[in-house]
Structure 1
């Protein structure tokens, strides 16, 4: 049994785990990252089919323009120049099709409001009030703008308890406009009666500020971070599934991997889902009520995806994303019956590198409940049986029938297609029940559904999409909060800001 000792052991190599490792490495901690999969990255992973690269979860990002929050993060994390990104169409980075009518989400608040006013000329007061509130909340958060943080400040907590749908409904009685303003809710697994306003506001703010496609995939980020972590003396191990937490008294002392290796440390950070983390904590080491709460947190819905390699020079490249809703109820897509699925789709195009006017591939995503695939959850990847393959084939047919309603030329342009289910997402990313965005944030129970990075075990911290907020910026800010339990968080923020070149802020 091999034994290694570190300052920090991080379990899981998703963005949160890698960002924590990078930050702590910069502050001279001896860090080790353990990943059960053969690839690092979690939702940053990609895969290749017939020369086309497909993303697992990072389809586009927001606020990557010069002077914006993600650009500052990329500078600090030494990602600038290592991650290829393309700015999406400023006049329509997202196109929303609701029951056959299209609306554009334009980039920048002035363009955003003017675009909506063209479709809703009588709703100026509501549109301007909406944009003002989203911008105020987005720019008002200290951590999401990398400003000095008071960890005891609770001034924004009221927005945790306010529902997105109630806020939008308070602005206008126009149901069509309400639907358009709520149409990006698949980016956070939105629930009409549960999603807090702060989740909606932050996600929409990041994309309205600027929206970008990672042209070479999300694994550019994880690969670069791993190189940097190792360059600072840190260790990153793949095929190293943690199966046991060891304790000395009330503190964790080591983690044990599947092959029996022990990794000792002073502190531990789990980038696993909080429920999976709690499964490794012996009952006698933690209060039953606390463990039960984390174990039973409700998860966001999962997804079924179709990945299409397109025939050369058949489908023009769209430098935008496309959201399609069959009906005008944009909140109801997750509450489907098997006979009326899918109710909505998200479509992401990738440009042909040799002929960028055309698309080389297309990713289509729609909600799917985990219960639909639960019967196969004990099976392994590529070994789930004929019944499962038939299930996926039928679901692909239903998705493509829905796609044909808005893009009738796609079917004849398919060179090859592949699918993934909630089981694929669960097994490749390690998320509970294939959850797209971790735990549900519930405005009706804001305290119960808010998950801090510190646990009831004093040397075990949490990070990842269930802490703070999901998405690239949410997870990076969550990593700051996690590291802020070990280092003065404002010292980290000072480093991020002091190393940012002045020419980007002019």
Structure 2
């Protein structure tokens, strides 16, 4: 089949933001090509398989706000994907368990219940906790109202409708802690889920913290069949509306002439033309490498060069030949002590021993009986911790995105082995002994994540600081026809943040208020065009794109 070389739009990268944007542009009548350097689409939402028995999610550990009024289901429904992604609710009375020495708090759905649990846990700090959560709830409500507004609000309307955000939105969480007079123990409880956005209280803004907290307090869910189902569904919508996904295709350059994009150049030299390019690549790499700083203003380039990234993760992927007894369907946030700000400070200094905190995600509890997760009677779970942000911690200089070979580097291997052992020891402190039942153990470092997604520093969360506090770029750039999506934009990180950003980008291009439209039930996509899913439908195969769907090398289950 001959490959076409001209398109209305080319999307570089197939993370959640890129796929959502591409699918909506295709449903809106544009010819769209998505280019992905990895073997499968999905970015941080993709999965991998081991031993023909276990499937591990890379980045989808839980989703918030997937009920009847949810934003993420609305985005998928707008493409005609109703029912193609189903969401399993986690325990509404405690979807996150926060464990500090001598104190355990189960986080329930809803702000009132959440406040009640926190006050019950530390009653001496009730006044400060209520003040803190009142501010966060107000900021979150204002932000959501702006996103779902039927018309674009004027600056005056924004100011009038967001008093809490105007006062607190761009200030740090630590400043609000200070204002509320909270102790380190209460601060640790309130910020325990901050690794969900990869920043500590002295770096994260109140708006960021409020949005993520509110997201999960609207209900915590897990996609039935795992995260790859989400990416595969978007690929189906893209292809059904005439778009194309090409995997194993790396873009070397986004071409610009006379201040406007003209297309892209691939690593092999092939040139593909389009008057519109949407980069789902890492924002800093987009500006400084793919496009080139000569095409942007000096202030933007300086800001991008000075930008810092959110912290990256190290992850243990664990399979056991037994079930974990008496565990609720909840994540576990385990803290060694009650000083979260001290833990982040030690990370900033490159100190991680002993491991200060761990996040546990139990996939086999969230999707029970799923044949892709693990065999009956087995357990599939991940253990994660944040890592220092620099390459020097791992004994490397340039990183895998720049082509550095690191996996046989002795310093890297030693550090990885040390961290694996430290995380295993801490994990057994948290949930009890399990090593003798391990049948698969694999460690992914930030360099692993960078190798597959090409994100700066291996973080899934994008920019931490880009100029002033809370600043992040919009999806529209100063280069005509160039847009950006993904975890680095102002719409936030995580699956839903990236999806909202992708939809916002498509809305700018199509000149429509797509999020309010889809939230009230409008469809751009035609469900009758979508393919039927036969028995044995494999989202990993679909996510390779139509041209490579039947290519060799795809891992199976069972």
Higher relative contact order (CA 8 A, sep 6+): 2
CA distance in 2 between counterparts of 1:410 and 1:162 reads 42
Are positions 1:394 and 2:418 aligned together?
yes
Matched, 1:375 2:396: yes
What secondary structure sits across from 1:92 in the alignment? coil
Cα distance between partner residues in 2 of 1:412 and 1:145: 49
SS at structure 2 position matched to 1:467 = coil
Change (3 A) 1:99 1:251: same
Q: 1:54: which partner in 2? A: 56
Matches within 5 A, 1:61-460: 61-142=63-144, 145-150=147-152, 152-153=154-155, 154-155=158-159, 156=165, 158-278=167-287, 279-334=289-344, 335-336=346-347, 337-338=350-351, 340-351=353-364, 352-353=368-369, 360-369=379-388, 370-371=390-391, 372-375=393-396, 377-378=399-400, 383-385=407-409, 388-441=412-465, 445-446=468-469, 449-460=471-482
Q: 1:84 to 1:491 in 2, by over 3 A?
A: closer
* Deviation larger for 490-499 or 102-111: 490-499
The structural deviation recorded for 1:120 is 2.7
In the TM superposition, what whole-angstrom CA distance separates every residue of 1:398-441 from its partner, at most 9, and x where no partner exists? 11111121222222332221111111010112211102300004
User: How far 1:339 sits from its partner (Å)?
Assistant: 6.4
Please name the residue that 1:503 is paired with.
none
State the 1:144 CA deviation: 6.6
**Which segments of 5 or more consecutive residues in structure 1 lack a partner in the other structure?**
501-506
TM-score where L is the length of structure 1:
0.91
Alignment of 1:461 with 2:483, yes or no, is yes
- Provide the rounded CA distance (Å) in 1 between the counterparts of 2:478 and 2:107: 43
- Distance in structure 2 (CA, Å) of the matches to 1:393 and 1:467: 34
SS at match of 1:493: helix
Inter-partner Cα distance in structure 1 for 2:206 and 2:405: 38
Contact 2:77–2:518 (CA under 8 A) maintained in structure 1: no
CA–CA distance in structure 1, aligned partners of residues 191 and 144 of structure 2: 25
Pairwise CA distance, 1:207: 0.5
**In 2, are the aligned partners of 1:303 and 1:365 still within 8 Å (CA)?**
yes
Q: Work out the CA distance in 2 between the residues paired with 1:157 and 1:2.
A: 50
Residue 545 (structure 2) aligns with: none
Moved more, 166-175 or 88-97: 166-175
Q: What secondary structure sits across from 1:23 in the alignment?
A: helix
Alignment of 1:3-22 (within 5 A): 4-22=5-23
- Cα contact 2:16–2:231 (8 A) shared by 1: yes
Kept in 1: contact 2:460–2:487 (CA 8 A): no
Partner of 2:497: 474
Secondary structure of the residue aligned to 2:520 is: helix
Give CA-to-partner distance per residue, 1:198-239, whole Å, 9 cap, x none. Answer: 000000001111011234221111111011100000111111
Contact 2:129/2:182 (<8 A) preserved? no
**Separation (CA, whole Å) in 2 of partners of 1:130 and 1:174:** 12
Structure 2 unaligned runs (5+)? 160-164, 524-558
Q: Please give the root-mean-square deviation of Cα atoms over the aligned residues, in Å.
A: 2.6
**In 2 relative to 1, CA 318–144 (structure 1 residues): closer, same or farther, beyond 3 Å?**
farther
Q: Which moved more, 1:269-278 or 1:45-54?
A: 45-54
How far is 1:91 from its partner? 1.6
Aligned length: 498
- How many angstroms apart in 2 are the aligned matches of 1:108 and 1:358? 33
Distance in structure 2 (CA, Å) of the matches to 1:190 and 1:199: 10
1:436 partner SS:
coil
Deviation at 1:330, TM superposition (A): 1.5
Distance 1:260-1:345 versus aligned 2 partners, 3 A rule: same
How far has the Cα of 1:310 moved from its partner? 1.0
In structure 2, distance between residues paired with 1:120 and 1:282? 52
CA contact (8 A) 1:381 1:424 kept: no
Tell me the SS of whatever aligns to 2:342: coil
Tell me how far 1:158 sits from its aligned partner: 4.6
Deviates most, 282-291 or 96-105: 282-291
Q: Note if contact 1:317-1:349 (Cα within 8 Å) is conserved in structure 2.
A: no
Structure 2 length-normalised TM: 0.83
Contact persistence 1:6–1:32 (CA under 8 A): yes
